[in-house]
Structure 1
Amino acid sequence: MSSLALVIGNKATSSWSLRPWIAMVHAGIPFREIQIRLRRSDTKAQIANWTASGKIPVLLDGGERIWESYAILEHLADRFPDRGLWPADPAARAHARSISCEMHGGFAALRRDLAMDVLHDLRGQRWSDEAQADIDRISAIWREARGRFGASGPFLFGRFSNADAMYAPVVTRFATYGVSLGVVERSYVDSVLAHPAMQRWIDEAKAEPPMGT
């Protein structure tokens, strides 16, 4: 049995959980999944069993507990250096880390107005000018990464990497809300949605009990 365990929330809506999960599944890193049902009376107490931060995901690695999605991805890249979780080229790797950190710490309006929901079609809903500014910035990030570093494959840096894991929840948001995108961004969204790990995440979300139960 693997020494790694990943504590996550509901697959339908837990954007932060998707990030390390999709990276680990893509990279073939074996782990045990521990799911905590969100929006229940005991959710807070269940999370407290695993982390004092009060948030998930959490990676359990032997006696270590690593929280925050970006920190988990960095830990996985250190732990499994042969899995290519960051681009090999130093310039590409630095750029990938920069845009991943920007995703981790920013885009509050997008998170507020276009909440992750992989189960429903929410096209036609409106969002704020601030959220549209976030969409425009993310679109520019994707175009630059694809243009500078993405020639070898369909993802931001050619091969799937931690940067794609960080933006995977945004991909689902753009699909759920029918966000208008350019050719480069639309092709990227389609590539991430077609990734077998993403397909598995969505299929398992569909099989979950309703939220709050």
Structure 2
Amino acid sequence: MAKATLTISSKNYSSWSLRGWLLCKMSGLDFDEAPVDPSDAEMRQELLLLSPTVRVPRLTHGKVQVWDTLAIAEYLNEAFPDAGLYPKDVARRAHCRAISGEMHSGFYNLRSALPMNLKARQERFKIFSGARPDVERVKTIWHDCLDTYDGPFLFGRPTVADAMYAPVCTRFRTYAVTLDDRLEAYIDTVLDWAPMQDWISGALAEPEEIEELEVEF
């Protein structure tokens, strides 16, 4: 099969690109990155042709084209069943899918109030009241998983769930969200994870003139 291509946007700002990229890395897929800048009018037109939602990432693997993050996860899980993207145990697998789906479809206020920006660091940041329940819900999900499956990742080892919540780890660090030691240790685990280190290096190397976009990544 032809080598895969993953279309992504800014590594500094695009949380959905990060999720899809991590999933591809975790699966062992051999892929090329195809970065596009949707702030450029011509590139925006190209993205519209790739996906009607103007969202990234978009995976092209032979004749397969997938642009929804969870759809990418499910495709990669089927294509690379030995990669362990989901836990083997049926109950754990269902739990992993549930919290991954919750991140995929929810937490709008958190994403709006704490946009991903790997280059930024706030010593103090007041989270508006509408986003606080989202922050508390993430804390609850993380504690539940870490208490149940003993860490250091949400299900012991890296899974789809960690890829889905990895951008939240960066947001909590960027905006100095107060966490207990257990959750700080989980964020350390994710940020020290080799694929995350590769992504962060790419984000820090991006030119400063890349602008954050109004579309939700």
Q: Letter of the aligned partner of 1:211 in structure 2?
A: I
Relative distance call for 1:207 and 1:2 in structure 2 (3 A) is: farther
Q: Which runs of 4+ in 1 moved over 3 A?
A: none
Correspondence for 2:215: none
Matched residue SS, 1:54: coil
Q: Contact between 2:38 and 2:47, CA under 8 Å: does it hold in 1?
A: no
- Say if 2:118 is the partner of 1:118: yes
Q: Letter of the aligned partner of 2:174 in structure 1?
A: T
- Say if 2:86 is the partner of 1:86: yes
CA distance in 1, matches of 2:2, 2:147: 38
Correspondence for 2:205: 207
Deviation (angstroms), 1:48: 2.3
Correspondence for 1:15: 15
Correspondence for 1:148: 148
Correspondence for 1:197: 195
Q: Letter of the aligned partner of 2:116 in structure 1?
A: M
Correspondence for 1:176: 174
Correspondence for 2:77: 77
CA distance in 1, matches of 2:2, 2:165: 27
- Say if 2:180 is the partner of 1:165: no
Q: Contact between 2:86 and 2:93, CA under 8 Å: does it hold in 1?
A: yes
CA distance in 2, matches of 1:114, 1:54: 21
Q: Contact between 1:156 and 1:164, CA under 8 Å: does it hold in 2?
A: yes
CA distance in 1, matches of 2:75, 2:26: 16
Percentage of matched positions with identical amino acids: 40
In structure 1, stretches of 5+ residues that fail to align are none
Correspondence for 1:24: 24
Using structure 1 for the length normalisation, give the TM-score.
Answer: 0.94
CA distance in 1, matches of 2:83, 2:19: 16
Matched residue SS, 1:112: helix
- Count how many residue pairs are aligned between Structure 1 and Structure 2: 211
Q: Contact between 2:50 and 2:58, CA under 8 Å: does it hold in 1?
A: yes
Task: Give the root-mean-square deviation of aligned CA atoms.
Answer: 1.6
Q: Letter of the aligned partner of 1:9 in structure 2?
A: S
Deviation (angstroms), 1:71: 1.0
CA distance in 1, matches of 2:70, 2:152: 22
Q: Deviations over 1:21-73 (max 9, x none)?
A: 11222343211110011322333212124223322111111112111111111
Q: Contact between 1:38 and 1:211, CA under 8 Å: does it hold in 2?
A: no
CA distance in 2, matches of 1:117, 1:124: 15
Correspondence for 1:6: 6
Matched residue SS, 2:50: coil
Q: Contact between 1:40 and 1:212, CA under 8 Å: does it hold in 2?
A: no
Q: Letter of the aligned partner of 1:203 in structure 2?
A: S
Deviation (angstroms), 1:206: 1.3
Q: Contact between 2:10 and 2:35, CA under 8 Å: does it hold in 1?
A: yes
Matched residue SS, 2:134: helix
Greater displacement, 159-168 / 34-43: 34-43
CA distance in 1, matches of 2:62, 2:27: 19
Deviation (angstroms), 1:186: 1.0
CA distance in 2, matches of 1:83, 1:183: 30
